[in-house]
Structure 1
Amino acid sequence: MRNIIIAGVILVSGITQAQFVKEKSINVQIGYGLSIPYNSMDTIGDDGFYAQGELVLKITSWFQLRPYAGVVFTNSNGTTLGGKPTNELAESNAFLLGGKFRLRAPIPYVAPYVELGIGTSVGKFQTKTFFDNVTSKGFIYHIPFSIGLELGKNNNVDIGLTYYAQPQIRQFVGAFAFGLSFPLD
């Protein structure tokens, strides 16, 4: 795993020096973390926190590469969305690391976007439903996906739903997030 992380750092370093990168910036996001089991939409691990930092590599006005690192902490409170007690739970306490790409409509003031990528989560995870009972510690892979809007004259404010599918533990984890971008050039 250490070799994969080193290769990723070298790749990102090479990409950031490449001439096809038009602009570079840092995006910082914070949000309310949630975890949702695949087989139960009635149980959600809330009482959560999400924070992430991204290196934004603008290739064109509509395409960006985004290596990221972040954290998510969720905790099931033992109740359903309606407030009824349940034995089901979905919890994740993890460090997130990976890369994704963003396709965006290059519109000033309100630019919708969609993201997709691949990454790893490192931490402690638990999913308990009628169909699944999974507990894991350590490394698992995840698939990040997001939809949202970039706001402002320079599209430097970001609001969106950002989630990570974690097939090994049978849950989604993510947040309704708010972010700000800071140019590096």
Structure 2
Amino acid sequence: MRFLFTFVLFISYFTNHLRAQTEGNFIKASIGFASSSSYYIENYGSQEEVDVMGDGLYLQGEYILGVKSWFSVRPYAGAIFTSVQKDQDLTNQPQYKVTTNAFLLGGKVRLCAPIPWVAPFIEGGIGTSIGKFETFTPNVNFNKSDALLHIPFSIGLAIGRKHSFELGISGYFHPAAKQSNAILGFGYTFPLD
């Protein structure tokens, strides 16, 4: 009985004091390493599989509407710039590549665990990418400058006393271009109050 009383007291105390993100409005700035790749595993005839990827820079800003301590809505704008280096090992073959040079606009929602100092989160949403996409592989030949639908997805950790710092892994999936972007990013959140 004493254990049950202590457990109930512990839960009620921490439920009122734990905040994974504060309710209110914030701005988040992020920077990171971006990588572009095709959806398909590429096999070049009798040779071993070769990675068809591009890498580069990722930048993003978010306006955060903190509805609850565990839920927020996040409109965002950002950019992904990836390129591929010339591979001298692919002589007598086309230079296969997957690159993205685009601006991102969209919205996502975040669910965050209310844990002090290190709070895990998951995000998902929908958006549009405006720019140039190139997916040139044995199975796909997509090369357009266009506005395309993308689907963002992220997992990560909000770190610090006020969870102002973030470390996360994100994915932006571009179904029309048959490619995806993987991001390893770092962010900082500024309060607007």
Q: What TM-score, normalized to structure 2? A: 0.79
What RMSD in Å do the two structures reach over aligned CA positions?
1.7
Q: Give the whole-Å Cα distance in 1 for the aligned partners of 2:186 and 2:23.
A: 24
Identify the match of residue 91 of structure 1 among 71, 96, 99: 99
Task: Judge conservation of contact 1:37–1:170 (CA < 8 Å) in 2.
Answer: yes
The aligned counterpart of 2:7 is none
Computing the radius of gyration over CA atoms, which structure comes out larger, 1 or 2?
Answer: 2
Q: Give the count of matched residue pairs.
A: 161
Shift of 1:163: 1.6
Task: Judge conservation of contact 1:140–1:166 (CA < 8 Å) in 2.
Answer: yes
Q: Give the whole-Å Cα distance in 2 for the aligned partners of 1:60 and 1:52.
A: 23
1:20-51: CA deviation from partner (whole Å, max 9, x where unpaired): x93110000000111111113722211x0110
Shift of 1:88: 2.1
The aligned counterpart of 2:77 is 69
Task: Judge conservation of contact 1:24–1:183 (CA < 8 Å) in 2.
Answer: yes
Q: Give the whole-Å Cα distance in 1 for the aligned partners of 2:39 and 2:180.
A: 7
Q: Is 1:44 matched with 2:53?
A: yes
1:9-24 equivalent positions in 2, closer than 5 A: 22-24=23-25
Q: Give the whole-Å Cα distance in 2 for the aligned partners of 1:173 and 1:33.
A: 7
Q: Give the whole-Å Cα distance in 2 for the aligned partners of 1:40 and 1:127.
A: 13
The aligned counterpart of 2:28 is 27
Identify the match of residue 178 of structure 1 among 163, 167, 186: 186
Q: Give the whole-Å Cα distance in 2 for the aligned partners of 1:112 and 1:182.
A: 19
Task: Judge conservation of contact 1:78–1:88 (CA < 8 Å) in 2.
Answer: no
Task: Judge conservation of contact 1:78–1:89 (CA < 8 Å) in 2.
Answer: no
Shift of 1:84: 4.9
Q: What TM-score, normalized to structure 1? A: 0.82
Q: Partner letter of residue 127 of structure 1?
A: T
Task: Judge conservation of contact 1:22–1:59 (CA < 8 Å) in 2.
Answer: yes
Residue identity over aligned pairs, in percent, reads 45
Q: Give the whole-Å Cα distance in 2 for the aligned partners of 1:32 and 1:123.
A: 19
Q: Is 1:156 matched with 2:164?
A: yes
